Amino acid sequence: MANSFCFLTFLLIISIVLVHANSKYCVNQDTCDKCLNQHVKCSWCSDRQYDMRRARCMTESDLLGGNCRREFIQINKQNPMNVIKDDDLRDFNKDFDSIQIRPQHVQLKLQKNRPQTVQLNYKPAKNYPLDLYLLMDLTWSMRDDKETLVKMGGSLSNSLSNLTENFRLGFGSFADKPIMPYINPGSEDNPCKLVHDTCLPTYGFKHKLALTENIKQFIERVNGSEITGNLDNLEGGLDALMQILVCRDEIGWNDKTRKIIVFASDGPMHFAGDGLLAGLIEKNDKRCHLNDKGEYMASLEYDYPSLEEIYRELLKTKVSVIFAVTMDVLYHYDQLHEIMEEITSVGQLAADSSNILQLVEHGFSEAVKRALFQDNAPDYVRVEYKTKCGEKYETPQETNKCDNIEIGKEYEFYVSLTLLDYPKDGAKNIKIKIEEANIEAEGTEIDVEIDYPCTECMAVAGEPASAICLRNGEYRCGSCFCDAGYVGRQCECNLQEYSSSKELDNQCRQPYTVNNETILGPHCSDRGECLCGQCFCNINYDGKYCECESCPIHNGIECNGHALYCDCGVCQCHPEYSGDTCECSTLQTNCISPDTKMSDDTNKICSGQGTCKCNHCDCNDGYSGTFCESTVGNETYSSLCVFYESCAQCTINRRLGHECLDYDEKCSRNGMLYKSEFYDDISDAKIICIARIRYDDDTVCEYKFTYDLDEKLETKIRIEDTTCPPVNVAAYSIIAVIIATFLIGLLILMIIKFNMYLADKREFAKFQEEQQMQTQYKFESPIYKSPVTTFCNPQNFENSPNVFELKD
């Protein structure tokens, strides 16, 4: 039996030596799935007649050379991409729409770890339609600016004509909520009374002109607008922005246009929560509330919307905002721009708004020259973008954005899709949309078919207790799945009954040549155990004779899962990874915070406050956080807190039994749902954020939460479990004092009662003692006095007859 095993092992060694050099990646794989996923050149032989002593995972040519029949070879198929729609790029014409992205529709198959690349061509169309809505602050301090806009109405038309031949203009104005403390009590009808002038009553927002090509009508509406006033220096601009975004039909937005809002103001804005000062506790419902006259009717029903809500609506509707503001509030709007960089721009407005034309032209140019691609791929599909941005780079760079786009010039983007893992739900088909972030209704649809290898082969019923597996296992798809206690290609080794022999053991000893003489080294290099002529290596060792240190394993994955193969302890890394253990990613995706990850601006790498090393931020001195978004000494503050606050609030409300209809929208990004969980304590977090929840009219609860991001930018939100409503410490303290007072009084009464009991007991004992000291007469008592009185003559007392007694 031992000689037979030696012979089988010898043949196996010979077969491995004879394989083609390309098969070195494949021979160690023992199942069809492992084989085809190991390397693109690996093929698997499922031929029942194939010699089980030979490796079944090799290149196709080596398998054919080993007499594996072609019809039983499972190969890595070259899945061609099928282009369904690929219309030519063209400029806009009133007779037909423009096409700026090609191809428009493709089909492809994805196999695990087999990238497929789609080439996109992008060409900004000439005369692409523009919808521009002028939203103006018409409070008292902007009265001069309004007059300037009236005078330059015609100039605005001429200026836009230089940008595109197809444009429409709309107009609206805003002030603030007409309620205390935003207006002066007693001045509701004329808020300008304090400056000895007359103006319109304060209003929240008025939509005065839907988008139109009639420039004359636009000038008339601007000219017919009157000034109003409010009390504080903050305005209700967010209310106006929300209505412009959600009232799509009323505003007249078109799908296939570039949409821009010019926001002109000289004051900062009220944010969500400021409405509480006026008793407006209802959260903005993000719905249209314009009447037939274009007046915002829910100004006194809802709080101001949050920046996060505005940001999501801007992304959803693909609307850009140009903040044209005065120098006094420039810093305020620069901060807003940092949060929403890819869809906003900021320009300094002159004191009388005379340079608004230049700001519009500049904002439009900024929007047009920036191309930003995004997708809705699930987390198990990695989408990577490469482009040279025309002639900006000599070789394609990993970026999804170009900021040097010129109208009429064509640009190439290479989009690589890689299936990282198979869908947990077993899905076979998914749809991925790739589109330019600022252009609606244009993009490339990709129909992806998930290619499961060896599906047909593994679907064939297996042979339990197969003769091929020496009755010690099941044969299926070219592999022996051994019963417990058996190993080997044919389950030939019984680990429980095995007894070694010298000849068999020698197969586990590495030969060396010394002085032209061949000697054998120790069994399995003293790093493993020899069973059935094979070395079973100790942990951290590998190779036929365990002569190699195994490649490092992290979380059960060799070379961090980032290697093409392991060559005798050396990780041969994928191109996008480096390092001895393939631990260092050359990408920068994890160095860009999720609220600005679409930006290619280098100052957004690690928030501009650190360097990206191995796809992780190495912060400069004085900064900390995943993206260096916090400063040392102020780790409890992060610019991302406001980004994740709405998701935390929604999660908490659901736990409290309240509705949160847009949970999936608030708690996801790019189709990736956040993981939100509650914890007893999150004090270990480096960054602590606060989410405020209104429990009732009088109670607001504060919940602490933090966020963590893994290497795939999957977000986990940890929320500290807090009692809501909070415990009323004052009330419970009063109750505790009352109870304590009652108990103390009761204790004092018991002590007094006990003292009285002891006094009575002592008196009774004294009484008993006096009783015992009484005379032996039956009726004698301490207070008894005898009724018999005896008198005697003092002379001759003893013999005197004059002695007598008186008795009562």
DSSP per residue, 533-559: TEEEEPTTEESTTS-EEPPPEETTEEG
Instruction: Give me the residues paired with residue 481 across strands.
Output: 474
Q: How many CB atoms lie within 10 A of CB 194?
A: 12
**Owner of token pair 């692409």:** 128
Q: How far is CA 700 from the centre of its chain?
A: 26
Query: What is the Cβ-side half-sphere exposure of residue 514, based on CA atoms within 13 angstroms?
Result: 6
Q: Strand runs (DSSP E) across 515-664, as ranges?
A: 517-523, 528-531, 534-537, 541-542, 548-549, 553-554, 557-558, 563-567, 570-573, 577-578, 584-585, 610-613, 616-619, 623-624, 630-631
Tell me the C-alpha distance between 422 and 111, whole Å: 9
Reference 378, options 94, 35, 127, 668; nearest CA is: 668
The phi, psi pair for 240, rounded to 5°, reads -65, -45
Q: What is the dihedral of CA 723, 724, 725, 726, to 10 degrees?
A: 30
pLDDT at 636: 62
- In which residue ranges of the chain is pLDDT below 70? 1-25, 27-28, 53, 149-154, 351-353, 495, 497-504, 531, 538-540, 554-556, 596-603, 633-637, 670, 710-713, 725-732, 774-786, 788-808
Instruction: Specify the pairing of strand 319-325 against strand 258-265.
Output: parallel
Q: CA distances (Å), 583 to each of 187, 219, 491, 577, 711, in order? A: 68, 62, 36, 7, 12
H-run or E-run covering 691? strand 689-696
Tell me the C-alpha distance between 283 and 658, whole Å: 13
Query: What is the Cβ-side half-sphere exposure of residue 437, based on CA atoms within 13 angstroms?
Result: 26
Tell me the C-alpha distance between 298 and 284, whole Å: 9
pLDDT in tens, 104-116: 999 999 888 888 9
Q: Is the peptide bond before 522 cis (omega within 30 degrees of 0)?
A: no
Amino acid at site 668: S
pLDDT at 445: 94
pLDDT at 106: 95
**Cβ atoms of residues 41 and 77 within 8 Å:** no
**Cβ atoms of residues 363 and 262 within 8 Å:** yes
Tell me the C-alpha distance between 727 and 735, whole Å: 13
pLDDT at 800: 52
Q: Is the peptide bond before 726 cis (omega within 30 degrees of 0)?
A: no
pTM: 0.55
Count of residues for the chain? 808
The token duo for 478 is: 């070219």
pLDDT at 601: 56
**Owner of token pair 């015992």:** 772
What is the DSSP annotation of 65-123? HTT--GGGEE-------EEEE-PPPB--BTTB--B-EE--EEEEEEBBTB-EEEEEEE-
Reference 604, options 251, 361, 339; nearest CA is: 339
Burial tier of 271 (Cβ tally within 10 Å: 0-12, 13-18, 19+): middle
pLDDT at 2: 44
Tell me the C-alpha distance between 600 and 397, whole Å: 11
pLDDT at 18: 38
Q: How far is CA 441 from the centre of its chain?
A: 27
